[in-house]
Structure 1
Amino acid sequence: MNLFWRCSFIIFSSTIYFEGGDGGTVRTSTSITASTGSSVDLTCTYTVGSGESVYSGLIVWQAKITGTSDYETFATFSPPGGGNNSFTTTNSAMNLKDRAELLKVTSEGSGTYRAVMRILEVQCLDEKEYQCSVTFIYLNLGPQTKNAVTSLTVQAPAEQPYDVPVAEPSNIEENMKINLFCTANVGKPPGKIKWWRFSDQIYAPFLVAESSEIPVVQPGVCAYNVTFSIQPLVTKDDDQSVWRCSVDNKLLTSLHDQDKPNQETARINVFCTHSIHLLWKIPKAFLFLVVY
């Protein structure tokens, strides 16, 4: 009889251990978006229920290891009055510690607290999943760990084209096609390259063409190089014109499209072609021979 009660108690206790602890909760934003060079907060909000405790080192931020389903801890936090926050020695911590700070855990009232890791200068390599993990200690039940996951997406502005475009061929005649090439990092999300023509004596530029290539976005990659070429037919009206290659993506909103990061040609000279008409009179005849 004693053995029966002993076995029943062990089974009952085990069930409580794994199913207990419904009071403690952990929350964070589902997703966060930031731009390279900006700052961003990873905020973990946790609530401690009745009969629960959270101790120093049991509040952690973790980063997902690329190519795996595993997470590694890069920072540990202490509840108010419980000690100092600190970075660990993992690879994720080494990537962050010189450009991030761990804010003191603050109380929001009603048993709710916030643990914040602030990245002061976001880099593309920060794009990954992060997990806040809090271990709650329950009276007579032992520890229970609860997690919340967020995903950080990093964006990057488009950049100035790499080279000054040069019209080819160098000796341009009217009604001739010229070749213009432009290569640039179109940023993330990938933007477009646009070609503009600035004609002599005309203030407003004319949009000639824009690229249609859209690079496939890869996790943790913020630079996407695109080459866009055009072969416009020039006329005498294009003499002294300037051809500009500009780059745009959704992060560049403060400038007109033609003024966004760009490079432009020198003024091009378009030479006119003329026909020479020679009139020959055939002696003793009313015939004329015209040679062009």
Structure 2
Amino acid sequence: MNNRLSVMIYLFFYVFEKGILRLGTNAMTVTSPTEINASLGSDSTIVLNCSFEKETGERVTQISWMKKNEMGNEYRKIVVYYQSYAVYNDPDMKKRSNSISFDDSSTSAILNISEVQCKDDGQYQCIVLYINSNGIEIGTKTETSVYIQVMAEIPEFSIQPANTTLEEYSAVNLSCSANVGRPGGMVTIWKRSISSDERIQLGSSSSLVTDNGNCSVYAQLLITYNLSRSDHGFIFGCTSKNRHTKDPAPSKEVGPRTILYGPSNIFFEMRPNQTHYYVKDVIQLTCISDGNPRPTFRWKFNSTDIMEHRKYTFLSGNATVKFTIQYLNESGNYRCYVENYVNEKYMIKNYSITITVKEQNIILKPIATESCFRDACSFIEKCYENENTAVCSKDIWRIISLIFITLSLILGMTTVSLCVLLKIQKRRKDYIKDGFNMGDGEGRNYETLGSRETHTYPSASQAVTVGLEERNYESLGNGMTDTYSSIDERALRDGEGAHYESLGRGETHTYSSIQQTVSI
């Protein structure tokens, strides 16, 4: 029993020591590219570089590049590197690749794959076997993902039915298929407004079909979509892309689509918006509704059609009716009918509102007195008693009378002013006419006057010239007339008229005082 216990203790410490040594001495570092992206073609190359860093006392014995099988999780060897040479396990890879093995001066094992093919896509492993400082062989590995890039192609896209004009709630089938390329290809169906570039995704492919013969990945998507009025004017499309596709991705679109629907969302706008109205109020009713094609409008008051004439005015294609309330019996129901045709189907809806017309209250102005005995109302108001209180209200006939009297006074004053003005103008005309007929202006008759004769008066208020003769009057007495039968000087006599039959040339008659009897 004691011997068996001693053996077990020995084995335990032996395994523990070996494990510690193995874990503690596994210090070699192995690296390779995490991801490599390559294109198809003879000019494309895949470089698989497996590098290592060893510690003192470690020695690399073998490096292998392996590739994961397309089916399952197993890896197969492609090439094995020994110091200074390599051995291929894949004949096809040997034809189109070259290898650089490691040695004492190089710490890398490199596999250069040329003429890249679709089958080169996949998961690769680099495994490094080495002996640690304790003489134990240890293996360590690293993985590299190789992606063969294939450009996505423009998809095939269709909508069934293909009609561009459809009814609301119609179902359409949206179908999209494309070679989406590699890696991670997919197709997406979307819609967008004709006025926007923003795409609203409707669905994306979840199943792929791979064709390794031409390195293609095909995706297909079919969606059944129910149209709504919000899709009016929208464009539908499909996009094909993969992980390395740059925007804009290959796309195809159809549209836009016209969505037809009947009248809906009807409501009224009232101006002014009041609980009741009065006679002479102006009302404007507007009926608002959705619909495509654009609906038409007609109106009824109670059960009577409203037609456009002097009372009713229609605006905005009959969507608005405007009228003035004339009578109290215009209270009632005003109804708007909205109509259109959707694929030859008649669509109609209506909306109504009730308007109440009230008699406008007369605004009364209370008076401080308790009766109309002492009338405190103005001239255009009349007074009456209401519950022992005197009130004033406008008297329309007094107002009309006041206006008539005012207009009559204005007309009378205007007539008098015109008569006075005409009389003044007539006097002015007569005065001017008398001025031109002054042959006997001084109460003196002159039959002949000698040329260049001058009669001088020391005092006269007016001078008259006939031909070349001049007479100066300093002062003429009222009612005084001088008559001369010859050219001799004579004294002036009151009341006599001065008469000159002839005057000799060069004679001058001087008068010290003459009374004026003629107005000039």
* Structure-1-length-normalised TM-score: 0.56
Whose RCO is larger (CA < 8 A, sep 6+)?
1
Match of 2:239 among 246, 265, 268: 246
Aligned partner of 1:33 in structure 2 is 35
Aligned partner of 1:283 in structure 2 is none
Whether contact under 8 Å (2:186, 2:219) holds in the other structure is: no
Q: Secondary structure at the match of 1:167?
A: strand
Q: Secondary structure at the match of 1:181?
A: strand
Measured in 1, the distance between the counterparts of 2:190 and 2:72 equals: 43
Match of 1:179 among 173, 177, 181: 173
5+ residue gaps in structure 2?
1-13, 261-291, 297-304, 306-344, 347-520
Deviation at 1:261, TM superposition (A): 1.4
Show CA shifts across 1:143-180 (max 9, x none): 835331314263756723542x2332234434353432
Aligned partner of 2:201 in structure 1 is 209
Aligned partner of 2:81 in structure 1 is 77
Measured in 2, the distance between the counterparts of 1:23 and 1:179 equals: 61
Match of 2:48 among 42, 49, 55: 42
**Amino acid in structure 2 at the alignment position of 1:116:** I
1:128 aligns with 2:131: no
Deviation at 1:102, TM superposition (A): 2.3
5+ residue gaps in structure 1?
1-11, 278-285
Aligned partner of 2:448 in structure 1 is none
Measured in 1, the distance between the counterparts of 2:235 and 2:73 equals: 53
Measured in 1, the distance between the counterparts of 2:203 and 2:151 equals: 14
**Amino acid in structure 2 at the alignment position of 1:148:** K
Aligned partner of 1:146 in structure 2 is 139
1:260 aligns with 2:264: no
Q: Secondary structure at the match of 1:148?
A: strand
Measured in 2, the distance between the counterparts of 1:119 and 1:197 equals: 45
Measured in 1, the distance between the counterparts of 2:74 and 2:236 equals: 51
**Amino acid in structure 1 at the alignment position of 2:122:** E
| C-alpha spacing 1:89/1:262, structure 2 compared with 1 (3 Å) | same
Aligned partner of 2:449 in structure 1 is none
Deviation at 1:116, TM superposition (A): 1.8
Aligned partner of 1:160 in structure 2 is 153
Whether contact under 8 Å (2:208, 2:219) holds in the other structure is: no
**Amino acid in structure 1 at the alignment position of 2:221:** T
Show CA shifts across 1:99-144 (max 9, x none): 544245487xxx76111223453746532341323455989x6x83
1:113 aligns with 2:101: no
Whether contact under 8 Å (1:242, 1:264) holds in the other structure is: yes
Show CA shifts across 1:75-94 (max 9, x none): 23354xx3x545x243xx52
**Amino acid in structure 2 at the alignment position of 1:25:** M
Whether contact under 8 Å (2:101, 2:110) holds in the other structure is: yes
| C-alpha spacing 1:156/1:238, structure 2 compared with 1 (3 Å) | farther
Deviation at 1:260, TM superposition (A): 0.6
Q: Secondary structure at the match of 1:211?
A: strand
Aligned partner of 1:9 in structure 2 is none
Show CA shifts across 1:224-273 (max 9, x none): 6240425363779957x753211344422x32xxx3112233x5675979
Higher Cα Rg, which structure? 2
| C-alpha spacing 1:66/1:195, structure 2 compared with 1 (3 Å) | closer
Whether contact under 8 Å (1:236, 1:270) holds in the other structure is: no
The percent of aligned pairs where both chains have the same amino acid is 16
Measured in 1, the distance between the counterparts of 2:121 and 2:95 equals: 13
Match of 1:102 among 81, 92, 99: 99
Deviation at 1:188, TM superposition (A): 3.9
Match of 2:219 among 197, 222, 225: 225
Measured in 2, the distance between the counterparts of 1:208 and 1:147 equals: 49
Aligned-residue CA RMSD (Å): 5.1
Whether contact under 8 Å (1:124, 1:222) holds in the other structure is: no
Whether contact under 8 Å (1:62, 1:133) holds in the other structure is: no
Aligned partner of 1:61 in structure 2 is 65
Show CA shifts across 1:200-233 (max 9, x none): xx4x434243425545999x99836240425363
Aligned partner of 1:169 in structure 2 is 161
Measured in 1, the distance between the counterparts of 2:161 and 2:228 equals: 12
1:194 aligns with 2:197: no
Measured in 1, the distance between the counterparts of 2:108 and 2:118 equals: 24
| C-alpha spacing 1:217/1:43, structure 2 compared with 1 (3 Å) | farther
| C-alpha spacing 1:230/1:70, structure 2 compared with 1 (3 Å) | closer
| C-alpha spacing 1:131/1:167, structure 2 compared with 1 (3 Å) | same
Q: Secondary structure at the match of 2:158?
A: coil
**Amino acid in structure 2 at the alignment position of 1:32:** T
Q: Secondary structure at the match of 1:131?
A: strand
